[in-house]
Chain A
Amino acid sequence: MSLTAAEASRLALERTWAAIEDGACTVLVDSPPGAGKSTLVREIGRRYALRPLRQQVPVVVQTNDQADDMVRCFLRDGESGLPAITVGRLHSADYVPPPDIAAHASVTFSPTINTLRNCLVVVATAAKWAMVDHSNEWPFAIVDEAYQMRSDALLPIGAMMARLLLVGDPGQLAPFTIADDTRFRGRPLSPVETAATTILTTHPETTRIPLPVSWRLPHHAAKVISNAFYRAPFTSGTDVSARRLEVQCHPSNTCEAVLTAARTGWAYVELDDIIMPPNDQEAIFTLARLVRDILKAQIHVFDERGSRPLVPSDVAVGVTHRDQRDHVRTAMAGVLRKLGLPYNAITVDTANVLQGREFEIVLVWHPLSGRRDASSFHLDAGRLCVLLSRHRQACIVVSRAGIRDQLRTHPATDPVWLGESAPVTDGWHSHLTILDHLEAHRV
């Protein structure tokens, strides 16, 4: 392969645009973590909207945070010399625009589509698009996070928009429902499956384009994540020497985990093999201590953009349950208070919420830690993949020992549904691949 990472990414973008210009009804871009998915969405959106016809392009995202981020990036693009474009942010009645973009001249906020007629791009959540009068029609629209979007949310999009570019990460968590979904299982076009799956079922001729390079994941993470979770392999956009952390530990601190993570990009902190309830106090304490070590150590971040000191917002903790999130947040608030920082200075959230976000250092509470069984919820390859692919520099995993035994001794008990296709990645295989990797970085 003689192509550089940048050339390979560019080629994927041009192929996508060519397929759209060719009049393809559906194009699906499969993107590994941090592969420039949202850059592609903005670039295609701009090119389509700025054609001589000047047709408005709806952009469908899944959450308000994603919508705000999208708007923010469009504005930043305009300031950095790319063609400026008028952006509309369609939102619900009780939404308050974030202060940093609320007063920007190039963005219009409105709860009704009619006041956004002059905007070339309109960004809104799928839930909000569903509330738009269905007599509206658009020739083309972009759906972001198509693997996070439920098939039922695609119905109103299909009712109004004639052609679609769908972009998403196939390795992430699939959407779910709180309701008993037995009656939909195994049915063609179940409302609980992903929007991407639905499009692939109804339009098998869909052009599928994989993005080949992850710009987020460092060299030492891309290969592991690609092997464990992705069918279409990808590489890291940065080489070995481009990213590193320089750590100066306070002598009174035990920060072996932090040093290992800085040196190799990974650290695995293993606690004693004990079966524990989901709010395992020792795990919470360990995570809090690690965050304290990271914040107290003087860490310098070196990457392709230059170098700078690590700040608290560069750090995140990823957990499995909302209950765990609340307990970790409370413990973290204590640590942060002692360091003179606000209680929410670092991000603590569940895998579902962390999807699509990136940080320099991510601490992960292993989904199977301390469990007696390996249920399909905890075994979900997407959950582990999201947690392990949020970082640009280093990832520290905290877990109770004994996961290998858990995986070996717990047979699958979930029913098999006729007519339902098996997941592309097998949770067992992914977990074991990752475990083999982590055990080489045990501290």
Chain B
Amino acid sequence: MDTLHTYLALRAANERKAVAKVTRRHVHISPRPMVIIGYHLAGDIGAPLALIWGTDRTARPHSVVVAEPRNRQLRFDALETFGQSLVEYLSGYVATRLESRSSGETEPVCIDAPQIVVANPATAEWLFGIVGRFTRSLSAAGDPAPAPIVPLAGKHLSFFHNLLPGSSLVLPATEILSTHWQTGQLPSEDLNLSALLGWIAPGEGLDGPAAARQGEDSPPAGPLSDPNWDARKLSPLIDQWHAAKTDEAQSAVFGELDAEIREQLDHTWEDCWRAIHLVNTLPEGDRVARRWERDRRAWTRHHLTMETGTARFRNIPTPVQSAKTLGVLEQATTELQAEMALDDPLVMAAYVASGEALSAKVISVDATRTIPGPRRQVRRPLVIFEPLLPFTRPAGTTLFLVSAPDVEFEILSATGDEVRAQVNKGAVSSSTLSRLPNPGDNVVLSPFTKSEFYPRPQYDDVPWTHRLAEPAEEDPL
């Protein structure tokens, strides 16, 4: 944790209430997200016990409950109901319009994309990773045979697994809350949605820690259920369901089980919507729309491959695919860090506090200064700053103007009360000189610049260096 966030955590602990970590919202919030909450059987991640979902906070959520989670027929029946609902929700996001790319070509892109909100990263990993993976390749010829919608929904779920940093297609509630607020408890305690909400929005007459303790007492947000509840309620009801002799008796037990499970999950349903609402009260960061556009394009590609039946999901990617994935991941990681800082002065403040960025008042600007270049004299304006916080980066450090991140400065010298820097790029010709700050301006220079596009090498075949030796072939008979 950096100095600023340590300070904010101490302040939150002292004030007994979470404090804002940002001034802007750094995720996209859909007008109609789908909230999904679920439990699986303890010790069996492949056995869903119950799911509740819906797109309307005020309506009663849909639900499926598997009375015997080990029974594959019942499991597939439940996943069929859920799958139908999911596919129906997703089908609302297939309308496209022509949009131009940076290369100038136009292509159809989905006007909007779906958004799934889950309670925590563990639910996302379970639902999109595990459930998606075991359902997406189920065969219709299996015994018991799943309805065709089950593998179809599995492919969709798999799309939502392992998204890029900065993607808003899936929002785990605990993650979006801790991106925007700092609590006074440990990061691992922030993984409990109810406790985290307690710190951020304690109810009437409560402070953060008290509300968090209360939250910890409420049923877990999944995907694991409370083991005491398992022993006291779930296990006896499953036994009763097996023991019921008539259909009527069995459905009575089922009704009881359904009500018990809803009682466990309803609380989290409300918590997820509260999280969305809280985050939505913040004004959206300027660069959030760019990341959502990337999400829409990703969704469009998935939608098109599903349409044409060419969607493929590999359990183990080839070395070539892994290398491409890693390249994209690295770029998205760097971009997200830079974009959040450039969008939000409070995020940038952490870099100013650590000395990586410079917050300063402009003392003087010499726009006419020239230095000898490789061939001729080149214009390199000199700007002298008075730092507001100590700045001790060495000469040669490269920084960029936050208000115009393509204007590049090189630090020439930095002492306690004066920083001298020359402009190397972005404002060195007569047409761009107006982008220089003026004496008296308060400016911030940071290490973040506009993201550069690196063309990636194109090849599809796995070269010899990355091919595992084939096992020796057996003699043909």
Interface residues of B in 391-419 (CB under 8 A from A): 392-397, 414
> Counting CB contacts under 8 A, is A187 at the interface?
yes
> Counting CB contacts under 8 A, is B461 at the interface?
yes
**What is the 8 Å Cβ interface bit string for chain A, positions 154-182, against chain B (1 contact, 0 not)?**
11111100101000000000000111110
**A154 adjacent to B457 (CB under 8 Å):** no
Considering only CB atoms, which chain A residue lies closest to B322 in the complex? A191
What is the interface residue range for chain B against chain A? 35 or more
Residues on B with beta carbons closer than 8 Å to the beta carbon of A326: 355, 392-394, 397
Residues on A with beta carbons closer than 8 Å to the beta carbon of B374: 96
Residues on A with beta carbons closer than 8 Å to the beta carbon of B316: 187-188
> Counting CB contacts under 8 A, is A260 at the interface?
no
> Counting CB contacts under 8 A, is A343 at the interface?
yes
Interface residues of A in 92-140 (CB under 8 A from B): 96, 130-131, 134
Residues on B with beta carbons closer than 8 Å to the beta carbon of A184: 322, 326
Which one of B323, B394, B469 lies within 8 Å of A203 (CB-CB)? B469
Interface residues of B in 314-347 (CB under 8 A from A): 316-317, 319-320, 322-323, 325-327, 329-330, 332-334
Considering only CB atoms, which chain B residue lies closest to A166 in the complex? B465
For the complex formed, measure the closest distance between the CB of B328 and the CB atoms of chain A, giving whole angstroms: 9
- Total interface residues on A, CB under 8 Å, equals 42
In the bound assembly, the distance between CA atoms of A75 and B461 in angstroms comes to 37
**A333 adjacent to B323 (CB under 8 Å):** no
In the bound assembly, the distance between CA atoms of A201 and B323 in angstroms comes to 17
**B322 adjacent to A190 (CB under 8 Å):** yes
For the complex formed, measure the closest distance between the CB of B338 and the CB atoms of chain A, giving whole angstroms: 12
**A198 adjacent to B392 (CB under 8 Å):** no
For the complex formed, measure the closest distance between the CB of B12 and the CB atoms of chain A, giving whole angstroms: 21
Which one of A131, A155, A199, A327 lies within 8 Å of B319 (CB-CB)? A155
> Counting CB contacts under 8 A, is B468 at the interface?
yes
**B326 adjacent to A192 (CB under 8 Å):** yes
> Counting CB contacts under 8 A, is B453 at the interface?
no
For the complex formed, measure the closest distance between the CB of A125 and the CB atoms of chain B, giving whole angstroms: 13
Residues on B with beta carbons closer than 8 Å to the beta carbon of A198: 465-466
**B394 adjacent to A333 (CB under 8 Å):** yes
Residues on B with beta carbons closer than 8 Å to the beta carbon of A189: 319, 322, 466, 468
> Counting CB contacts under 8 A, is A227 at the interface?
no
Most buried by B among A25, A96, A157, A158: A158
**What is the 8 Å Cβ interface bit string for chain B, positions 445-469, against chain A (1 contact, 0 not)?**
0000000000101110101111111
**A179 adjacent to B466 (CB under 8 Å):** no
Considering only CB atoms, which chain B residue lies closest to A331 in the complex? B392
In the bound assembly, the distance between CA atoms of A149 and B322 in angstroms comes to 16
For the complex formed, measure the closest distance between the CB of B325 and the CB atoms of chain A, giving whole angstroms: 8
**B465 adjacent to A154 (CB under 8 Å):** yes
In the bound assembly, the distance between CA atoms of A304 and B457 in angstroms comes to 47
Which one of B355, B466, B467 lies within 8 Å of A151 (CB-CB)? B466
> Counting CB contacts under 8 A, is B165 at the interface?
yes
> Counting CB contacts under 8 A, is B179 at the interface?
no
Known: A155-B463, A191-B323. A180 touches B394 (CB 8 A): no
For the complex formed, measure the closest distance between the CB of A24 and the CB atoms of chain B, giving whole angstroms: 13
**B459 adjacent to A330 (CB under 8 Å):** no
Which one of B393, B394, B466 lies within 8 Å of A343 (CB-CB)? B394
For the complex formed, measure the closest distance between the CB of A279 and the CB atoms of chain B, giving whole angstroms: 8
In the bound assembly, the distance between CA atoms of A162 and B325 in angstroms comes to 25
In the bound assembly, the distance between CA atoms of A201 and B356 in angstroms comes to 41
**B466 adjacent to A154 (CB under 8 Å):** yes
In the bound assembly, the distance between CA atoms of A184 and B317 in angstroms comes to 9
Residues on A with beta carbons closer than 8 Å to the beta carbon of B465: 154-155, 157-158, 164, 198-199, 202
**B323 adjacent to A155 (CB under 8 Å):** yes
**B395 adjacent to A152 (CB under 8 Å):** no
> Counting CB contacts under 8 A, is A216 at the interface?
no
> Counting CB contacts under 8 A, is A338 at the interface?
no
**A155 adjacent to B459 (CB under 8 Å):** yes
For the complex formed, measure the closest distance between the CB of A283 and the CB atoms of chain B, giving whole angstroms: 15
**B326 adjacent to A330 (CB under 8 Å):** no
**A134 adjacent to B457 (CB under 8 Å):** yes
> Counting CB contacts under 8 A, is A323 at the interface?
yes
> Counting CB contacts under 8 A, is A344 at the interface?
yes
In the bound assembly, the distance between CA atoms of A187 and B330 in angstroms comes to 18
**A323 adjacent to B463 (CB under 8 Å):** no
Residues on B with beta carbons closer than 8 Å to the beta carbon of A164: 465
In the bound assembly, the distance between CA atoms of A409 and B347 in angstroms comes to 35
> Counting CB contacts under 8 A, is B71 at the interface?
no
Considering only CB atoms, which chain A residue lies closest to B469 in the complex? A202
Considering only CB atoms, which chain A residue lies closest to B323 in the complex? A152
Residues on A with beta carbons closer than 8 Å to the beta carbon of B457: 130-131, 134, 155-156
Residues on A with beta carbons closer than 8 Å to the beta carbon of B327: 152
Considering only CB atoms, which chain B residue lies closest to A278 in the complex? B354
> Counting CB contacts under 8 A, is B432 at the interface?
no
**7 A-B contact pairs sorted by A residue (CB < 8 Å):** A154-B465, A156-B459, A158-B463, A188-B316, A189-B319, A191-B325, A198-B465
Given contacts A177-B326, A179-B326, A323-B355, 11 further A-B contacts (CB under 8 A): A151-B323, A152-B327, A155-B457, A180-B333, A184-B326, A191-B319, A198-B466, A326-B394, A327-B392, A330-B394, A333-B394
Chain A residues proximal to chain B, CB less than 8 Å:
25, 96, 130-131, 134, 151-152, 154-159, 162, 164, 177-181, 183-184, 187-192, 198-199, 201-204, 323, 326-327, 329-330, 333, 343-344
Chain B residues proximal to chain A, CB less than 8 Å:
162, 165, 316-317, 319-320, 322-323, 325-327, 329-330, 332-334, 354-356, 374, 392-397, 414, 455, 457-459, 461, 463-469
A-B pairs, top 3 by smallest CB distance, nearest first, are: A158-B465, A158-B463, A152-B323
